[in-house]
Amino acid sequence: MTTVTATLRASLADAVANRNSFWFQVSVMIVNDGTWIVFWVLFFHQVGTLHGWQTQDVIVLFSMLMTSAGAALGLLANSRRIGHLAADGELDETLVLPVGPLSHILTSRIDSANMGDLLFGPVLFAAAGHPTPERAAVFLLGSVAGSVVLVGFLVACGALTLFVGGRGEQADLGFNAILIFASYPLDLFGGATKVLLFTAVPAAFVTGLPSELVRSFDPARALLLVAVAAFFAALGWVLFQLGLRNYSSGSIWTR
Amino acid sequence: MTPYLAGWRLGLLRTLRSPGDLSVRIGFFAIILVVMSALWGAAIDASGGQLEGYTHSSLLWYVFAAQTAVLGVRPRSVEEIGDEIGGGTIAIQMLRPVSVVGLRMAIDLGEACARLAVAFVAGAALTWLFAGPPPSAAALAMAAPAVVLGAAANIASSHAFGGVAFWVLDAKSTWFLYQKLIFLPGGMLIPLDILPRPLEVISLLLPFATMAYAPGKIASGDANPLLLLWQVGWLAALVAIAAAVFAAGERRLQVLGG
């Protein structure tokens, strides 16, 4: 068993140690997700079609978002906390271990509530996303690529704290921005905003492009998605490694 | 100076002295306005220029005030209250010769006032940029007290909701549910007038509509003073409910030896 797998297993065991609490939080998140679905159903009931998007398209987008965000924020919960951990000097406990620091940090905490997203996303797709073998395969590919983009982006934003200081505000703003933009159909945005979503805040690669691939598969766009996922994974890793050179111990062990 | 006024001042100054947190919130607010402008602009276009009486401009001014009122309050305050009760910190607060819930709400309101002031000015400027001038000067002027009343009602309601932790110690995730009550029946995501009629009626009967819908409706051009009265009425009721929940909870905590 690799170190990463062992750490992830230990984190999962820790998260489900209190079964009632775990399932309560999962259930609350599922209800939370359901509220968004209700919003979109009501919205499209009133508006009809919006730039070619209908209720079922948004349901696929949300299934994708829940699955990607569930993996990134549930299984790898520390991905959004890198900046806070750095600001509070809490990287010490990882840096003394004989393991890759980033992989250990990412796998060492599971967020029970976001596991509800990870469970509900695929169920929603299976129930309302008109799954066929091809659509399901593209959904899986899109969700994995979307998760990698999200984790890479959040780690990169968190690593900025190691360069410019602060209390992790860069990661908070990046987190809010990418999740909000990823929650809405890509075709709503035009001009500079759309350019932003394909570059600095890559929400288009978390939900927009993957859900378009589910609707209409295109091998060239699928390759682009995979390449972008690899780029953001590398970006997050490189920025974190470079940022570590600026890290000062929080002296957590001596307090 | 009364302890509650001192608490309010403490909250206000503490927030004003945290520019990092304030700048993140303003950045977040700007993103929301960009997204909502795109969403509702497309929706209005698809509906022939009007949606249940809202134009693109009036709808964006609605979004501005509804979002300002909600963003002024810390989103996880329900969770924080639950943590303090569940972790026992509340027992220390009970040693002070003042009402625990009263002082907490005063501090939270001070923090909210600082955020609201910044968000109102920045949000109004951005909305003006996206949607043009407000529907009327009177509506914008009335929206200012409306967002404060909405945030105050939200704070009181958060305490009533978070006080559940006196009985259900693991109330950590309930803030998600509370937040969604403000999103939908509260009118933050979608004006209540746009909902199907039965849902609109139910939502109007609930207190959450005073926290987002009322300020939004006023800013959209409906400068009706009765909307402010509606907010004041629910605010008084919610403060009384929060006080009653905490009083009952504190008695229970003492019985358990906390």
Per-residue pLDDT of chain A (255 residues; tens, 9 = 90+): 688 899 999 999 998 988 888 888 898 889 889 988 999 999 988 888 888 888 999 999 999 999 999 999 999 999 999 998 988 888 888 888 888 999 999 999 999 889 999 999 999 999 999 999 999 999 999 999 999 999 999 999 999 988 887 777 777 778 888 998 999 998 888 888 889 899 989 999 999 999 999 999 999 999 999 999 999 999 999 999 999 998 877 665 543
Could you tell me the two tokens for B6?
Answer: 């001192």
**Assembly ipTM:** 0.77
d(CA A73, CA A67): 10
Contact B190 A42 (CB under 8 A): yes
Task: Report pLDDT for A169.
Answer: 73
Q: Which tokens belong to B81? A: 């209250």
Rounded Cα gap, residues B203 and B223, in angstroms = 20
Chosen for mutation from A19, A65, A117, A172 (greatest number of chain B CBs closer than 10 Å) is A172
Q: Chain A residues with CB-CB distance to B under 8 A?
A: 18, 20-21, 24-25, 28-29, 31-32, 35, 38-39, 42-43, 45-51, 113, 166-167, 169, 172-173, 176-177, 180-181, 184, 188-190, 193
Both tokens of A202, joined, read: 């890559």
Cα–Cα distance for residue pair B219/B66, rounded to 1 Å: 9
Sign of CA dihedral A23, A25, A28, A32: negative
C-beta atoms of A188 and B42 within 8 A:
yes
B23 touches chain A (CB under 8 A): yes
Number of other residues whose CB lies within 10 A of the CB of residue B256 = 8
CB A110 within 8 A of CB A15: yes
**Contact: B42, A166; criterion CB under 8 Å:** no
Q: Are A54 and A44 in contact (CB under 8 A)?
A: yes
A189 to chain B: which residues are within 8 Å by CB? 38
Of A28, A47, A177, the CB nearest to B31: A177
How far is C-alpha B199 from the geometric centre of its chain's CA atoms? 21
Residue type present at position B214: A
Tell me if B3 sits within 8 A of B100, measured CB to CB.
no
Q: Does B172 touch chain A (CB under 8 A)?
A: yes
Both structure tokens of A166:
């602060």
Residues of chain A with C-beta less than 8 angstroms from the C-beta of B194 = 42, 46
Tell me: the pLDDT tens digits for B198-235? 999 999 999 999 999 999 999 999 999 999 999 999 99
Contact A110, A75 (CB under 8 A): yes
- Report residue A140 as tokens: 């899986």
d(CA B130, CA A191): 14
For A219, the token pair is 């091998």
For position A45, what pLDDT does the model report?
87
DSSP state of A247: -
What are the structural domain ranges in chain A?
A: 3-250
Instruction: Tell whether the model's pLDDT for residue B163 goes beyond 50.
Output: yes
Q: Which two tokens stand for residue B257?
A: 């030896």
* pLDDT higher than 60, residue B70: yes
Name the residue facing B24 among A48, A51, A172 (closest C-beta): A172
- How far is the C-alpha of B198 from the C-alpha of B214, rounded, in Å? 18
Per-residue model confidence as pLDDT tens digits over B33-64: 888 888 888 888 888 888 888 999 999 999 99
Per-residue pLDDT reduced to its tens digit, A96-139: 888 899 999 999 999 988 999 999 999 999 999 999 999 999 99
CB A232 within 8 A of CB A147: no
| The pLDDT value given to residue B169 | 60
| Contacts of B140 by beta carbon, 8 Å cutoff, 6+ apart | B61, B124, B134, B219
Q: Are A232 and A156 in contact (CB under 8 A)?
A: yes
Structure confidence at residue A206 (pLDDT): 96
Q: Are A147 and A114 in contact (CB under 8 A)?
A: no
Residue whose structure tokens are 């979002």: B67
Question: What DSSP letter does each residue of A120-170 carry, written as one string?
Answer: HHHHHHHHHS---HHHHHHHHHHHHHHHHHHHHHHHHHHHHHHHH-SSSHH
Terminal Cα distance for chain B, rounded: 31
Interface contact A113-B173, CB threshold 8 A: yes
Does the pTM surpass 0.80? The reply is yes
Count how many domains chain B has.
1
Residues of the domain holding B205 = 3-255
State residue B258's pLDDT score.
44
CA gap A251, A233 in Å, rounded = 30
> Could you tell me which residues come within 8 angstroms of residue B123 by beta carbon, excluding any fewer than 6 positions away?
B29, B33, B64, B67, B68
Residue A126 C-beta-side C-alpha neighbours within 13 Å: 7
Residue A254, pLDDT score:
43
Set of chain A residues whose Cβ sits within 8 Å of the Cβ of B21: 167, 169
Write down the pLDDT at residue A1: 61
Residue of chain B nearest A113, judged by CA positions:
B173
Quote the CA–CA distance of A103 and A99 in Å, as a whole number: 8
Contact between B38 and A193 using a beta-carbon 8 Å cutoff: yes
Contact A45 B196 (CB under 8 A): yes
Q: What pLDDT, on the 0 to 100 scale, is given for residue B186?
A: 95
- Specify the pLDDT at position B38: 86
Long-range residue pairs from B13-16, CB within 8 A, at least 24 positions apart, any chain? B13/B110, B13/B114, B14/B110, B14/B111, B15/B110, B15/B111, B15/B114, B15/B115, B16/B114
**CB-defined contacts A:B, below 8 A:** 89
Burial class (CB in 10 A: 0-12, 13-18, 19+), A220: exposed
Determine the 3-state secondary structure of B20 from DSSP.
helix
Query: Taking a contact as any Cβ pair under 8 Å apart, which residues of chain B between 174 and 193 contact chain A?
Result: 174, 176-177, 179-180, 183-184, 189-190
